[in-house]
Chain A
Amino acid sequence: MSLFSVAVHIVPRRGLLDPQGKAVADALHSLGFADVRDVRVGRHLVVQADASSAADAEASVRRMCEQLLANPVTEDFELEAPRPA
C-alpha cells in the first residue's frame, strides 16, 4: 500500500441555475472581462488515501464521490489522476 493524493472537482450540473456562478460572472463583466460567458462555482477536495495502486485509489475516491462527496441529483464531479502523496 502507498499513499496517493486525489484531487476532486465538484460543480453544479450544467443546466441547473448556479446563482453564485452568475454573481461571479456579473462581477467579472463589471470588471471589464466582457468575454466571460459562464462561471460555475463548485468545490475542490483533495483526498489522501492508502491504496495498492493509482487505479485503486481512483476507484476508491470515485465511490466516495458517489456516496458522499457529490450529490448525484445536482452535481457532477471529475477526478484528477492520483499522485503519490
Chain B
Amino acid sequence: MRFGIVTFPGSNCDSDAYHAVADVLGAEAVRLWHKDHDLQGADVVILPGGFSYGDYLRAGAIARFSPIMREVVAHARRGAPVLGICNGFQIACEAGLLPGALLRNQSLKFVCCPVRLRVENAETLFTHRYAPGQLLSVPIAHGEGRFSADDATLDRLEGDGQVIFRYVDETGAVTDDANPNGSARNIAGIVSAEGNVLGMMPHPERAVDALLGSTDGLALFEGLLDRVAA
C-alpha cells in the first residue's frame, strides 16, 4: 500500500504528511509534483495543507487545475481514497470531489491552535479505528476554514453520515464557542457520498507524535493502511 503526497507550489504541510505516513507509520510513500501526470502507483492520495498558488482568487481555486489533479480526480472517481487536509480540503471542494466551500473564518483571524473534535461516523475507511463519538485533540491552522453549503446539502450530509468530524468542547458538546471558524453546524470534516474522499480542516498529520502534543491523528492513517492494504 502506497501513499502519494502531492506538492503544489505553496504547499507547506506536504513534508508533515510524508513524515506521518513514511516515518511514523512506516508505510511506503511517494511524493508527487503538481506538474506530474502520474500518481506513481499511489493507492491513497493526500492533498496536503498550505497555500497553493498563494490562495489567489480563492483558496484551492487554481490548484484544482494543476496537471496532477486530472489524475487525482480520476483516482477518486474510480472509488480510490483521497485525503484532503486543510488546503487539500479546499482544493477537493473546488475540484468538485466534495460539496460545499471553505470561506474566510468568521473571526477574520488566522486560527492556529489545538481543537477538540468528535468522531461522528466511525464506520468509514478513514475513521474505523476510532470509536463512535470519540473525542480527539488535533491542531488547526487556517484563515479560510468556515465550511459552508446550502441547507439541503447540509441536511443530506448529516442524513447520509457524511459528516465525519465536528468541533466540540471539552465535554463533547457542539457549541458556538467550540467552533473555531464559524463552520456550518460545527462541521470540521466530511466524506464524499461514496465515502472515499475525506476533506478536513484539522491536521491529523500533525497529531502523530506525543512530543508535539497529541497522537490522536495516527489512527486515521493506520486505518487507511490496514483497510486499503487488505
Contact = CB atoms under 8 A, between A and B. Distances in A.
Interface residues of B, number: 21
A55 interface: no
A74 interface: yes
Interface stretch (B96-104, B157-165, B169-177, B197-205): B96-104
Interface string A35-75: 00000000100000000000000000000000011010110
Contact of B182 (A12, A17, A74): A17
B103 A74 contact: yes
Contacts, number: 36
Given A16-B148, A19-B106, A74 B101 contact: yes
B11 interface: no
Contacts of A73: 93, 99-101, 148-150
A2 interface: no
Interface string B61-72: 110010000000
A19 B108 contact: yes
A12 to B, nearest CB: 8
A20 B108 contact: yes
B108 A71 contact: no
Main secondary structure of the interface of A (DSSP, over half): mixed
A10 to B, nearest CB: 9
A68 B106 contact: no
A74 B148 contact: yes
B40 interface: no
> Most chain-B CB neighbours within 10 Å: which of A20, A43, A74?
A74
B199 to A, nearest CB: 13
B230 interface: no
B104 A71 contact: no
A27 interface: no
A20 B182 CA distance: 13
A23 B109 CA distance: 12
B104 to A, nearest CB: 6
Contacts of B58: 71
B94 A20 contact: no
B105 interface: yes
A69 B58 CA distance: 9
Nearest to B105: A19
B212 interface: no
21 contacts: A12-B103, A16-B103, A17-B106, A17-B146, A17-B182, A19-B104, A19-B106, A19-B182, A23-B108, A43-B57, A68-B57, A68-B61, A68-B62, A69-B57, A71-B94, A71-B101, A73-B99, A73-B149, A73-B150, A74-B101, A74-B103
Which A-B residue pairs are the 5 nearest by beta carbons? A73-B101, A74-B101, A19-B108, A19-B106, A71-B101
Given A68-B57, A68-B61, 18 more contacts: A12-B103, A16-B103, A16-B148, A17-B106, A17-B146, A17-B182, A19-B106, A19-B107, A19-B182, A20-B108, A43-B57, A69-B57, A71-B58, A71-B61, A73-B93, A73-B100, A73-B149, A74-B148
